[in-house]
Amino acid sequence: MKQFILYFFAASLLVTCKSKETFIYPTEESITESVYASGIVKSKNQYQVFASANGIVKKVFVTEGEFVKKGDPIYQLADFNAVLNTENARIAAEYNSMAANSDKLNEVKIEIETAKAKMNNDASLVEKQRNLWALGIGTKNELDMRELAYTSSKNAYNASMLKYKQIEKQLNLQAKQSEKLLAISYATKGDYTVKSEFDGKVYTLLKKPGEMVNMQSPIALVGDAEGFYIELQVDEYDIARVKKGQKIVLNMDSYQDQVFEAVLEKINPAMNSQSKSFTIEANFTIPPPALYPNLTTEANIIIKIKEKAITIPRNYLIDNKYVLLSNDEKRKVVTGLMDYEKVEIIKGITTKDAIKKTAQ
């Protein structure tokens, strides 16, 4: 009885194992080799808006979905400090202007005229004393005193002239510096109005009146109203096979069960060192009826298509170079194109060879 039970169990096990074996024949069909990529839809000229100064939102000029022209204001930030700084700069510019300091120059001019008059007088006196000394009149000491007086007055005159030039140069420098600071203050004041860089559509506003803004965080998203393109990330392993002009098929969560086509237009030559991927750009052949920035997409970049190829499912391939025939022969094959489901067999088997896969 026990022997019968053991035999029955062994037979059942054999039948069970046999039932796990699946036999198929290679098929002749088309196969497409592609490279997987994922990314987002972006609006042309899409950019994040940043403020040029820190501050609090005072006013929002636009609403989401509104069209703007280049230079149109988007946000107005409170600029109390900027107003005060500009006023201080204006006062300083007026105080340091050449017109406001003309009295200082006039004062030095009077000194110059006085020194010049004294110098001319001393020059006349020393000349008279020299003439008298030539006639034997007077003393050498008197002549020396006149010449010393003339030299002193001449030095005083030259010093006055130098003083005038120095004061004039200093006042000019102060005036120009004050004017420059005033211009900078006016320019800085303009930083508190955040304007659009391009014609386009406001897709997102990230701040409301009363909220704090800093120069490091975006406050809005603006882009082209109608033109869109696809930005995809391609793995470093696959980038060598990707070329401009290749066809791309893609799908989006926003359009489930629909497939769209695009053409690869641009490959960014610099690799992202963190993600180990390259950024590529593509344009829709026929775009969906409605698109929005940052819609996610998954795509396949078509590398090569072969219309008549002998293919088998990829999971029937052993170690990427063998197949198991129905008679348990392990035969070596040469593979060609492959996609996610099937692989082309160039050499080793034909459509008449049954192959099997034993379930694990």
Distances (CA, A) of 291 to 46, 196, 219: 13, 22, 22
Helix and strand tally (H, E) in the chain?
4, 20
Position 39 scores a pLDDT of: 94
- Is it true that domain 20-44+227-360 has CATH number 2.40.30.170? yes
Burial grade of 141 (CB within 10 A; 0-12, 13-18, 19 or more): exposed
pLDDT in tens, 18-64: 445 678 999 989 888 889 999 999 998 888 999 888 888 989 999 99
CA atoms within 13 A on the CB side of 122: 21
What CATH number is given for 47-78+192-220 in this structure?
2.40.50.100
What average pLDDT does the chain have? 83
Position 297 scores a pLDDT of: 94
Point out the residues of the chain with pLDDT beneath 50: 1-19, 360
Position 168 scores a pLDDT of: 80
Position 97 scores a pLDDT of: 67
Domain boundaries, the chain: 20-44+227-360, 47-78+192-220, 84-189
Position 289 scores a pLDDT of: 87
In this prediction the pTM is 0.54
Q: Are 96 and 182 in contact (CB under 8 A)?
A: no
Position 308 scores a pLDDT of: 86
Q: Which residues of 323-335 are buried (b: 16+ CB within 10 A; e: fewer)?
A: bbeeeeeeeebeb
Tell which residue, 107, 109, 112, 106, has the closest CA to residue 157: 112
Position 15 scores a pLDDT of: 41
Q: Which residues contact 250 (CB under 8 A, 6 or more apart)?
A: 230, 259, 260, 261, 262, 297, 298, 299, 300
